[in-house]
Structure 1
Amino acid sequence: MPTIVFASPKGGVGKSTSAVLLGVELARKGAAVTIIDADPNKPVSDWARRPGRPPNLTVRADVTEDTVIDEIEAAAQRTAFVIVDLEGTASMMVAYAISRADLVIIPTQGSQLDAAQAAKAIKLIRQQEKAFARQIAYAILFTRTSAAIRPRTLGFIQDEFRRHGVPAFDTHLHERDAFRAMFSFGGTLEALSTSQVSNLDAALVNARAFAAEVVTMLRRGPRDEAAPAEAGAAEMGADR
């Protein structure tokens, strides 16, 4: 069953938010989902302890560097999708999880600092590909963007990734009050009300578009673009 890993050496880019949104959307479609919470701060576990978690979505915590591969493989035997939310560092646990991924999602905000950290994640993916002699699909996911404004910095970063052959989601996860509210109130976007958050309908559309694009990427699988992407990662700051 597919394993989807959320990875970035930088914290605060929306890994946990993206992981929960994806897990909830897949569960809403009827799939059994496991989210492995490998972030020491345990944001996904905190969300899961609040009411409203879908019954077909399981969260596993207390994962260590020594057990993360076993946890991923066991979850893949039990559920249709495995989602791994990793810590914001470049650790051996991160490398081990990436080695088992069918798709690595690299959440990135529209800043040059985030772009440089994303490039480091790409380099780590390439190292795991070489170590295990397999291709690993990956893509940049721009997070906390504005639905109405496209800053020049974001446009420049997108163009740079494109120029270096780095794949990116067409869908951005916008800055939405509803996404934050899920971690305050628990449960799903559908369980929120317009009295609690603004622009709820737009948040639902955004989350569903993201999940649909993930499924499309999983069906497509990795593409043979290692040379330009690896060179691009180095040029964009992977060795800083």
Structure 2
Amino acid sequence: MPIISVASPKGGCGKTTTSITLACELARKGLSVVIVDADPLMWSYKWGELDGRPANIQVIGGVKAEDVAVVAMDAAERVDFVIVDSEGTGNLATANAVGASDLVIIPVQGSAMDGEAGVLTLAMVASEGRKARRVIPAAVVLTRTRHIETRAVKALRERYQELNVQLMHTSIAERAAFNALTDFGGDLVDLPKTEMGSNPMGAMQNAAEFAEEVLEIVQAIMPDYKMEVA
């Protein structure tokens, strides 16, 4: 089954939020998911230890760099989706995760530094693909975006278009609800109302649209894969 790595050498770009949000949306569709937490800080694993984790999501933490690919591939034999939450450095664990992936999602915030980190990740994806003698699909998702698009984000869009990079139509907005997930556990629908921000329905719609676009990408790159979505 599909292995999706969420990767970037830059910390704080939204890898864990992206991983958890995607996992919860897939779980809500009735799909079984394993998150492989390849970050020594284990933020996804710590989220999974809190109350409210959906029953069809398992989080595996404490995975050694040399074991990431094997753990992910083993999990892919028994669940619908595997999501690898990679470390915020371009290290061996990230490279191994990328090499085992069917799709790499690269979270990028609206800054020149994040944009460069995205380019470095794309180079890693290409390098791992050459080693495996295959093309590893990758897509960039803009994170922590605001209602009014900044000049920096517009510049990033233009740069990635020039590089012929797949930039997801759906971005992950800057919302209190997304930030609260790792503090309170569970899914967006489980958060206390006080932590949902001023537009809780907007956050849930944003998450659903992001997951739907990921599924569309997976279906395009793996046309023979049949998903039994509830």
TM-score over 0.5 for the pair: yes
Q: Is residue 51–residue 187 contact of structure 1 (8 Å, CA) maintained in 2? A: yes
Q: Which residue of 2 aligns with 1:204?
A: 204
Q: Is residue 193–residue 200 contact of structure 1 (8 Å, CA) maintained in 2? A: no
| 2:148 aligned with 1:165 | no
In 2, the alpha carbon distance for the partners of 1:81 and 1:127 equals 24
Q: Which residue of 2 aligns with 1:231?
A: none
Task: Give the letter for the 2:154 counterpart.
Answer: G
Q: Which runs of 5+ in 1 are unaligned?
A: 223-240
Q: Which residue of 1 aligns with 2:187?
A: 188
Q: CA RMSD in A?
A: 1.0
In 2, the alpha carbon distance for the partners of 1:192 and 1:185 equals 7
Deviation digits for residues 65-112 of structure 1 (CA, Å, limit 9, x no counterpart): 221121011100111100000001111111111011111000000111
In 2, the alpha carbon distance for the partners of 1:52 and 1:78 equals 22
Q: Which residue of 2 aligns with 1:68?
A: 68
Give runs of aligned pairs for residues 169-180 of structure 1, distance below 5 A: 169-180=168-179
Q: Which runs of 5+ in 2 are unaligned?
A: 223-230
Deviation digits for residues 163-188 of structure 1 (CA, Å, limit 9, x no counterpart): 11011110010001001111111111
TM-score (norm: length of structure 2): 0.94
Q: How far did residue 193 of structure 1 move?
A: 4.0
Q: Is residue 23–residue 83 contact of structure 2 (8 Å, CA) maintained in 1? A: yes
Q: Which residue of 1 aligns with 2:105?
A: 105
Task: Give the letter for the 1:187 counterpart.
Answer: G
Q: Which residue of 1 aligns with 2:228?
A: none
Deviates more, 1:60-69 or 1:2-11: 60-69
In 2, the alpha carbon distance for the partners of 1:158 and 1:54 equals 34
Give runs of aligned pairs for residues 3-82 of structure 1, distance below 5 A: 3-82=3-82
Q: Is residue 3–residue 101 contact of structure 2 (8 Å, CA) maintained in 1? A: yes
Q: Is residue 4–residue 82 contact of structure 2 (8 Å, CA) maintained in 1? A: yes
- SS of the equivalent of 1:78 reads coil
Q: Which runs of 4+ in 1 moved over 6 A?
A: none
Deviation digits for residues 180-229 of structure 1 (CA, Å, limit 9, x no counterpart): 1111111110112433322111000000000000000011118xxxxxxx
Deviation digits for residues 120-156 of structure 1 (CA, Å, limit 9, x no counterpart): 000011111111011111011100010x211111101
- SS of the equivalent of 1:35 reads strand
Q: Is residue 109–residue 143 contact of structure 2 (8 Å, CA) maintained in 1? A: yes
Cα 1:64–1:150 change in 2 (3 A) is same
| 2:152 aligned with 1:153 | yes
Task: Give the letter for the 1:163 counterpart.
Answer: E
In 2, the alpha carbon distance for the partners of 1:130 and 1:184 equals 39
Task: Give the letter for the 2:41 counterpart.
Answer: N
TM-score (norm: length of structure 1): 0.90
Q: Is residue 10–residue 114 contact of structure 1 (8 Å, CA) maintained in 2? A: yes
